[in-house]
């Protein structure tokens, strides 16, 4: 069983991105993984924007990343990139805060014009932070995510099947991940 940190980078309390992550968390939990949800919007703005590395919420988030074997990062796409809220958190984590981690990047947005945001905006940052393995990410259109009156999320059949495959590949990669190596900060 692996520990998975499920990070929502959406600033919205009614976010489809966060609901999608929580929906996928249940699949990972059913596969025997311990999933810890983290909604970046719950971290105080003054800690994020003031780059307060010692703020208890930043310290706690950093510890959650360190403890995780794998990280699912979900973000809405704004202006062809991941959210500024997510960027604020990633900037406050240690430079090699993803060393030894398997990472699944996910994004939601209103247009297929933003589908490359994962590969051209988010993946380079995750890679620079030392992620051991960044599995294939997935972009889901907002129109394929329906929120019921009770707040439950329904994913359209085609995207639901694709997301299940991506999550299963992530879970499989977690099971075969190499042992973490300490970052030296030097090129090999």
d(CA 14, CA 131): 29
CA 104 to chain centre: 6
- Token pair 């939601």 is found at 108
d(CA 78, CA 110): 10
Residue 175's pLDDT is: 83
Percentage of the chain surpassing pLDDT 70?
93
pLDDT per residue over 87-124, tens digit each? 999 999 999 999 999 999 999 999 998 999 999 999 99
Query: Does residue 151 register a pLDDT over 90?
Result: no
Percentage of the chain surpassing pLDDT 90?
87
pLDDT, averaged across the chain: 92
Query: Does residue 36 register a pLDDT over 60?
Result: yes
Query: Does residue 55 register a pLDDT over 80?
Result: yes
pLDDT per residue over 163-180, tens digit each? 999 999 999 999 865 444
Q: Where are the beta strands (DSSP E) in 19-178?
A: 34-39, 70-76, 102-109, 133-134, 138-141, 145-147, 153-155
Query: Does residue 184 register a pLDDT over 70?
Result: no
Residue 77's pLDDT is: 96
Contact assessment for residue 122 and residue 116, using Cβ atoms and an 8 Å cutoff: no
Residue 1's pLDDT is: 87
CATH architecture entry for 3-175: 3-Layer(aba) Sandwich (3.40)
Residue 139's pLDDT is: 97
Residue 185's pLDDT is: 43
Residue 28's pLDDT is: 97
Query: Does residue 7 register a pLDDT over 90?
Result: yes
């Amino acid at each position: 069983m692996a520990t998975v940190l499920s990070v929502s980078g959406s600033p919205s309390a009614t976010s489809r991105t966060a609901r999608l992550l929580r929906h996928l968390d249940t699949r990972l939990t059913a596969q025997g993984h311990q999933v810890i949800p983290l909604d970046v919007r719950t971290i105080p703005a003054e800690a994020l924007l003031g780059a307060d590395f010692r703020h208890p919420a930043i310290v706690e988030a950093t510890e959650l990343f360190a403890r995780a074997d794998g990280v699912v990062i979900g973000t809405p796409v704004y202006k062809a990139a991941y959210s500024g809220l997510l960027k604020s958190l990633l900037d406050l984590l240690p430079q090699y805060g993803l060393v030894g981690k398997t990472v699944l990047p996910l994004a939601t947005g209103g247009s297929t014009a933003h589908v490359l945001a994962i590969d051209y905006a988010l993946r380079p940052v995750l890679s620079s932070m030392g992620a051991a393995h960044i599995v294939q990410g997935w972009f889901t259109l907002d129109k394929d995510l329906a929120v019921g009156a009770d707040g439950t999320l329904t994913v359209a059949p085609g995207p639901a099947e694709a997301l299940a495959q991506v999550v299963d590949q992530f879970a499989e990669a977690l099971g075969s991940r190499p042992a973490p190596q300490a970052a030296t900060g030097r090129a090999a």
